[in-house]
Amino acid sequence: MSRARPRPGPPLWRAPAGRCSLSLMLAAWLLVWGLAGEAAAQTPAPAVTARLLAASPEAATHFADRLRALGDGAVRVVERDAELTLALGDEAFRMALSAPGHGPVLGVGVTTDRVREQVTAGCRCSAIRAGASLAAQLAVLSELMPAARRIGVMLGPHSAWQAPLVAPPGLILDVIAVDPPQRLGPLLRRQLPDWDALLLPTDPILFGPGTARLVLLTSYRQRVPVFGPDADYVHAGSVASAVPNSDDLVRAVRRWVAQWRATGRWQEPGFAGHYHLVINDHVARAYDLSVTPGIRLERTLENTP
């Protein structure tokens, strides 16, 4: 006797009809497009192409090498059809801006005088300034000489910093205007006894090679340590300085270019915001100062405006 086969039951899932099925189809399409958009967002943007101008081929090659090594492909140096120009130093910056129909230009390591002359409202340009910020140099001074309270700062018309200067809590900044530069010696001899330390800004006129001997010998005789303004001064007898090296400038270029790409406008001229410490161990020991600033200062200099 044959047995009857059981009838199949209702399906476990049935495609809904009407507007419900359209809603599910729409949701599926939205999911697909959402995943596609997420994948597109994860795709890195193409590199910004840049022409590189420098005082010498060696300088241009070195900077291009560091840009490739640290730039994550965000900025690519090309010979022609570049989106913007990177100009290393004052003369390259001047040349880039004097070219007829020049496009966007970013100066790198540009002195204060050149920034004031060239960066105008319609120049389509900006500049990473030469030297280090007041905040960075004060961080170096405070770490190596924590007992210092009254700091002398001498400024001229060509200095990278301009008055008024704001002192952080616990410090007093005595800002002395030196104009003309011939007043530097008499002012030093009169003011140094009132200060715990002397802090110098980048200034090619007031604190160039011609005045280093005067400043450093006068300060040493009165036992007042000098900090800043650059590596050359440190090698000549300044205690220490925050200094932007080529890698620090490359990081600054990446930041400036990223903002330009995002907004279509350059940010205002400013300092690199990344620095390295240069210290003269012999001079620091002569003043009984610590020569082991530690990791905290290094991290501070990596992220100081």
Q: Do domains 48-130+246-263 and 134-243+274-302 have the same CATH topology?
A: yes
Predicted local distance difference test score (pLDDT) of residue 219:
96
Confidence of residue 265 (pLDDT cuts 50, 70, 90): very high
Q: How far apart are CA 156 and CA 174, in angstroms?
A: 14
Give one DSSP letter per residue of 6-21, joined into a string. PPP---S--PPPTHHH
User: By the 8 A CB rule, do 273 and 108 touch?
Assistant: no
14 pLDDT exceeds 50?
no
* CA–CA distances in Å: residue 186 to residues 45, 68, 98, 176: 57, 49, 41, 12
Q: pLDDT by residue (tens digit) across 104-154?
A: 999 999 999 999 999 998 899 999 999 999 999 999 999 999 999 999 999
Q: pLDDT by residue (tens digit) across 201-246?
A: 999 999 988 899 999 999 999 999 999 999 999 999 999 999 999 9
Burial class of 183 by CB neighbour count within 10 A (0 to 12, 13 to 18, 19+): middle
Confidence of residue 21 (pLDDT cuts 50, 70, 90): low
6 pLDDT exceeds 80?
no
Give one DSSP letter per residue of 126-168, joined into a string. EEEESS--HHHHHHHHHHH-TT--EEEEEE-TT-SS-S--PPP
Predicted local distance difference test score (pLDDT) of residue 246:
93
For a pLDDT cut of 70, what percent of the chain falls above it? 84
At residue 107, φ and ψ (nearest 5 deg) are -80, 145
User: By the 8 A CB rule, do 86 and 53 touch?
Assistant: yes
Confidence of residue 43 (pLDDT cuts 50, 70, 90): low
Average pLDDT over residues 16-41: 48
What lies within 8 Å, CB to CB, of 4 at 6+ separation is none
Least confident of 2-16, 69-83, 145-159: 2-16
26 pLDDT exceeds 70?
no
67 pLDDT exceeds 70?
yes
User: By the 8 A CB rule, do 108 and 88 touch?
Assistant: yes
7 pLDDT exceeds 60?
no
**Residue in 257, 279, 256, 260 with CA at minimum distance from that of residue 269:** 256
Residue range 134-243+274-302, CATH number: 3.40.50.2300
- Per DSSP bridges, beta strands 84-88 and 48-53 are parallel
Domain ranges of the chain: 48-130+246-263, 134-243+274-302
Q: Give the CATH architecture of domain 48-130+246-263.
A: 3-Layer(aba) Sandwich (3.40)
Predicted local distance difference test score (pLDDT) of residue 27:
47
The pLDDT mean for the chain works out to 87
Predicted local distance difference test score (pLDDT) of residue 294:
66
Predicted local distance difference test score (pLDDT) of residue 11:
46
